[in-house]
Amino acid sequence: MALWWSNLMVLQQVAFIIAVTATIIMLVFLVLMLFGMDDSTFDGGVQDTDLDFLSDEPLSAISGLKLFTVRGALALLSVGGWVIYIIAPLMHVVLALLIGVASGLLASFLQALAFKAALKLESTGNFDYERAIGKTASVYIRIPKERLGKGKVMLNLEDRFIEVDAITDEGSDLMSKTMVDIIGLENNTTVVVREKK
């Protein structure tokens, strides 16, 4: 063990430590996720109280794709670290670092895509949004006035707390945490809301 470690380049040693640490933490979170114990710390899902480094929607997401999360950082460190560890002896240090970082960023991006797809299935796949009409919801992401764009609301539907795309005909934007009534459907996954009186 000591001989193997001493034969590694310093860059390989650092990459190995980072990769192993990030991988172990990811595995712990994966186990927690499988047992449903990660709602507020890892999944970046319906409850947006996860550990996003940037929590405002325009900064932390690109078209709803959350990139700056603990999960994303762990993917970057884990995959990037392993790639650097493997290729460092084969090429110049700077090139190995660039390839490792690029690989980590790609892994983080692909992971964000996978979680976005999974959450979309979770939040839209099993619900009849006709049942949401008449319910009260809370604005989660600002809803632009006069149907100028979509926001999101949170509501309890079929015994689950979910996030749904929403539009409004109101003359002013509906800001986060505003209570609204769901008055109709725009399509199968978008509700129409108005401010609760």
Spans of all domains in the chain: 2-124, 129-195
- The per-residue pLDDT for range 2-56, each reduced to its tens digit, is 788 888 889 999 999 999 999 999 898 888 777 655 544 444 443 333 333 333 3
Instruction: Note down pLDDT in tens along the chain; length 197 residues.
Output: 678 888 888 999 999 999 999 999 989 888 877 765 554 444 444 333 333 333 333 334 444 455 567 888 889 999 999 999 999 999 999 999 999 999 999 998 888 888 777 666 555 556 778 888 999 999 989 999 999 999 999 998 877 888 899 999 999 999 999 999 999 999 888 999 999 98
CA atoms of 45 and 33, how far apart (whole Å):
12
For the record, the structure tokens of 120 come out as 């979309």
Q: Where are the alpha helices (DSSP H) in the chain?
A: 2-6, 10-34, 57-60, 70-87, 93-124
Report the CATH fold assignment for 129-195. Answer: OB fold (Dihydrolipoamide Acetyltransferase, E2P) (2.40.50)
Place of tokens 């149907």: 147
- pTM (predicted TM-score): 0.53
List the one residue out of 193, 146, 195 whose CA is nearest residue 165: 193
